Amino acid sequence: MILQALTRLYETLAEKGEIPRAGWAMTNVSYALEIDKDGQLLDILPLKTASNDGKKMVPRPMNLPAPVKRTAGIASNFLWDSATYFLGFDAKDEKERAVKRNDKTQIMTLSLDAKGDKQRAVKCFEEAKSLHLKLLSDCEGDYARAVIGFFSSWEAETAESNELISEIKDELAKGVNLTFLFNGVFPMEDRELCAVYQEYYDGEEQGEKMRCLITGDEVVPAATHPSIKGVRGAQSSGAALVSFNAPAYCSFNREQSINAPIGKNAAFAYTAALNYLIAQRGEDDRLKAKLIGDTTTVFWTEDAEIQYQNAFSSVLDGDEDSVTTNDLDAFIKAMANGEDADWDGLPVKPQNRFYVLGIAPNAARLSVRFFLRDSFGSMVKHIKEHYERMEIVSDGKNRRKTIPLWAVLQETVNKNSREKAPSPQMAGDTLRAILTGGLYPATLYQQTQLRIRAERDVTRGRAAIIKAYLLRNTNSEKYKEVLTVKLNEQTTYQPYVLGRLFSVLEAIQQRANPGINSTIKDKYFSAASATPMVVFPMLLNLAEKHLRKMEAGSRIHYSKLLGELTAMVTESYPTHQTLNDQGIFQLGYYHQTQKRYEKKNNNNEEEN
């Protein structure tokens, strides 16, 4: 299902001319080897250009032959590659071979390493030479003859001594890509070179024909598939979505990806489409693919219309920077009601099929965290319902009306830990729950509770998580009256009342001791929410002492408020509260605390 959807996307993009045809790929190139008609190297020209934001120089994207699949062996690309393959230059950074101690053993090891790297670089160059001479030997064009002349005359053994290379050897050592430039023309602009490569790529594969799992055609399956690049945490050289690397995974003596027979063109199509989605950038030069936990998330429609991606990204993030709150709310409402709307002046239809794919790194391979398919309007409707469940009174620290997913997940993270990333599994499960309207993962609530107990701080985001989780994952009627946006002063549900009472007790302590560094929240909050019977009698006794320190007006106000809340406690303090009731306690505390901070009316009432 995933591969078929990606293949259909590729076909749509190819029809629109937005993605290279089969066998070609957009490649980032940093330098051009300028050669004359005899193949002599004239210069090495930089091709980097300024990024969209103007903050850095980035390689130039070029439509060149698709990269070969490399593992531990040696294989050259056609018409472009690194300095190791095109110049025989040892691209390994010399700093990697530096040593701190100057003993004979290390000197000998360093010498052997350098010699081994040099020999491999020469072998790489010979492989590139062999490939280009094989494909271009029958060509008669000037460009092809110039490339042949270059590989025939270049001496890889002495590459490092060349003045042109020595000037930029630090850059070349980073493994940047090179291509050719002849008479001001790049390889993809020469018809003969393009035709030769296309014929080579389209050539009949040797082997047993099988039915392609994507197209259903009888084809010789590809032994390996092109790599997926740009997935955060995966190998920079690329990782595989479909691969087999051990006999235990193979059957009928089939090796590698032949166990999942897919034709060469279909394999190219699905990988090209996925690489396109991952590499997409907006006008602000930011990637459109979203990183959720360790999961790189991409999304698309079958007709490949860009406005759906832009709209979905803004809706999921609650983006109030690029669009006004009113416009975003109107768009979400229209989609949820099944009505057509516009985004950036382009039509958006809620019935269009929409896909969301999450992939995570797994050594040299990729794991599929989730794959969701539904109508665009249905997914937006589920996001809207999520935002409604998360709605809660603001703490005044953030101007955002909605709490985006990334902010929700950060509420579960220890800010003092070295790894400040949420649980990967929890992040993926939470996104799936939001987009499908399913139950929130229990781990989201549990991790939130852990952070509250550890930090003794109920933030707006954590209170919103408690409210949303209990609304969606429980059916208790007694919960619904306290799972409100603002303070409910009428409910007598005991855990909620106890949370409010704790907030008032804290306010009394702070009023009686201005500037106090450590309050009862720092010492007793976790115990009060879990085992009220142990803590509240002591706190109420302490409050009586604090009230005696206040001025008459404040003492009367807080005594009245304290009396009202204690009168609502109609049962004995529980010895232990369930995890759900602890969340309601925390929600009551948050609601009452925010009530204390509300702006007062013109009569300048005392704080609640």
Mean pLDDT of the 18-22 span = 87
Distance CA(79)–CA(77), nearest Å, equals 7
Q: How far apart, in Å, are the Cα atoms of 172 and each of 32, 34, 324? A: 12, 16, 46
Mean pLDDT of the 71-94 span = 82
Whether 213 contacts 258, CB under 8 Å: no
Q: How far apart, in Å, are the Cα atoms of 133 and each of 39, 86, 246, 449? A: 13, 13, 35, 66
pLDDT of the residue at 116 = 56
Q: Give the tokens for residue 444.
A: 């989201």
pLDDT of the residue at 105 = 44
pLDDT of the residue at 399 = 73
In angstroms and rounded to an integer, the radius of gyration of the C-alpha atoms of the chain is 32
Over 50: is that where the pLDDT of 522 sits? yes
Which position has the higher pLDDT, 391 or 114? 391
**pLDDT (tens digit, 9 = 90+) per residue, 253-262?**
777 777 888 9
**pLDDT (tens digit, 9 = 90+) per residue, 25-58?**
889 999 999 999 999 999 999 999 887 777 788 8
Q: Which residues 6+ apart lie within 8 Å of 75 measured at CB? A: 68, 69, 127
pLDDT of the residue at 604 = 46
Over 60: is that where the pLDDT of 468 sits? yes
Over 90: is that where the pLDDT of 471 sits? yes
pLDDT of the residue at 37 = 94
Q: In which band, very low, low, confident or very high, does the pLDDT at 115 lie, cut at 50, 70 and 90?
A: low
DSSP 271-326: HHHHHHHHH-B-TTS-BSSEEETTEEEEEEETT--HHHHHHHHHHHHT--SSS-HH
Q: How far is CA 125 from the centre of its chain?
A: 37
Q: What is the mean pLDDT of the chain?
A: 87
> 16-30, 457-471, 507-521, 543-557 — which one is most confidently predicted on average?
457-471
Over 70: is that where the pLDDT of 490 sits? yes
Distance CA(584)–CA(530), nearest Å, equals 11
Kindly give the residue spans of alpha helices, DSSP state H, lying in 481-530. 494-512, 520-530
Q: In which band, very low, low, confident or very high, does the pLDDT at 111 lie, cut at 50, 70 and 90?
A: very low
* SS3 of the chain: helix, strand, coil, percent, to 5: 50, 15, 40
Which position has the higher pLDDT, 287 or 295? 295
Q: Phi and psi for 495 in degrees, rounded to 5? A: -55, -40
**Which run of H or E residues covers position 25?**
strand 24-29
Helix 142-153 to helix 191-201 angle (10° resolution) is: 70
DSSP β-bridge partners for residue 355: 300, 373
pTM over 0.85: no
**pLDDT (tens digit, 9 = 90+) per residue, 376-417?**
999 999 999 999 999 999 888 877 788 989 999 999 999 888
**pLDDT (tens digit, 9 = 90+) per residue, 336-378?**
999 999 998 899 999 999 999 999 988 778 999 999 999 999 9
